[in-house]
Copies of this chain bind each other. A is one copy, B any other.
């Protein structure tokens, strides 16, 4: 008959193998889902490589009033009135792949296919071996200001305010991010090439930075402060600036517009602040632009915005120290769990001044001033599915830049609806 010792040895062996078997599922190439998102990630056994599909769909229905379209000429009478209309569109249809390789490298490739066109958004590789640091190379977005830096998936309103035009364009370059806890610093250097994608010529160079910090943070409150700047240097055969903006909706006509004017370089700078008290979030920023003309004169443009969201259902926006920005609320009681999701009201006031007086009145920049007011209702059905309603009222004023008299005024309104989904 078998001895107890023999049995014991076999049980010892089984117990060791069981430990191996139990941990085996952690040691194979596998799939990993985050509870909140529908897109699974492939993860290698050693954790050094990952692959994940990413997507974002923004589908809009917009109704707009008659509105004035201004071409930036000195004479407002050259503008035209465009009749109001209803439109239905895809604002964003992004599809991409991102992941990690060789442990210390990340990669992102994302394209937008909205309007049935291809529009590259990100094509970058990032080096992450140094703790708290990330250095990205490639075609990418550069940090500037609060609303512009925050992902379009997590903005309060359908469109960013007109200040967004002061932020750097996506382009090929390098960005360094240093985020050692309480401070977030990003600095970039990129090539200016407006039609980069079509084999466009290099038109200049851009340097930019943004520094932010959650200067005060308690269980219920947060104060965020930040500053940004960029320097655009134009090549000799491309010395030209233009600033212009739509009335806070993509399908609106441009009501303020400096037209093209000669310039050697631009410095844009901004300050930003945010205050969060539980389910209330208030944010504001100011941006200025100093443009150096060829004859040495300066053009000064700028603007500000203030916005706030109050989430009825009690959820809070999530502060992301890593990005110096906020992530929209995730509903405590989503539709999928029998709830009604989260509801939020939001409002934004923004002002932009594209006028600038010159010693020589012939060289005045007369882009106009625009104020917009947006009132929004956000319904978060699920973590990654929301519906947004915006009412926008915009007013543009054009006046004699020297005397500030004889102002012409035009206003317009629009109603916008979006269904937004991402994975």
Contact = CB atoms under 8 A, between A and B. Distances in A.
Interface of A: 1-2, 4-5, 7-8, 10-11, 14-15, 17-18, 20-22, 24-25, 28-33, 37-40, 42-45, 49-51, 53, 55, 57, 59, 61, 85-90, 93, 95, 97, 99-105, 107, 109, 111, 113-120, 123, 125, 127, 129, 137-139, 171-172, 191, 193, 196-202, 251, 334-337, 382-385, 419, 421, 423
A201 B87 contact: yes
Contacts of A8: 2, 7
Contact of A120 (B29, B113, B138): B113
A87 B44 contact: no
Contacts of A49: 33, 37-40
A176 B116 CA distance: 27
Given A7-B11, A97-B55, A191-B88, A29 B29 contact: no
Given A97-B53, A335-B127, A25 B25 contact: yes
Given A102-B383, A105-B336, 15 more contacts: A1-B5, A7-B8, A18-B21, A31-B44, A55-B109, A86-B202, A88-B196, A89-B197, A90-B123, A90-B197, A97-B423, A102-B334, A107-B423, A125-B385, A129-B335
A18 to B, nearest CB: 5
Copy tally for this chain in the complex stands at: 3
A29 B35 CA distance: 11
A198 B87 CA distance: 10
A197 to B, nearest CB: 4
A87 B382 contact: no
SS class, residues of chain A in contact with chain B: mixed
Given A49-B37, A127-B335, A191 B4 contact: no
Residue from A18, A109, A111, A196 having most chain B Cβ neighbours under 10 A: A109
Contacts of A40: 29, 42-44, 49-51
Given A21-B18, A59-B172, A97-B95, A118 B116 contact: yes
B90 A202 contact: no
- Top 8 A-B residue pairs of the complex, sorted by shortest distance between their CB atoms: A38-B101, A40-B42, A102-B336, A33-B44, A86-B202, A29-B31, A116-B197, A116-B118
A241 to B, nearest CB: 20
Contacts of A20: 22
A1 B4 contact: yes
B33 A31 contact: no
Contacts of A30: 28-31
A17 B7 contact: no
Contacts of A385: 101, 105, 125
A253 to B, nearest CB: 12
A118 B125 CA distance: 23
A50 to B, nearest CB: 7
B14 A198 contact: no
Contacts of A22: 17, 20-21, 24
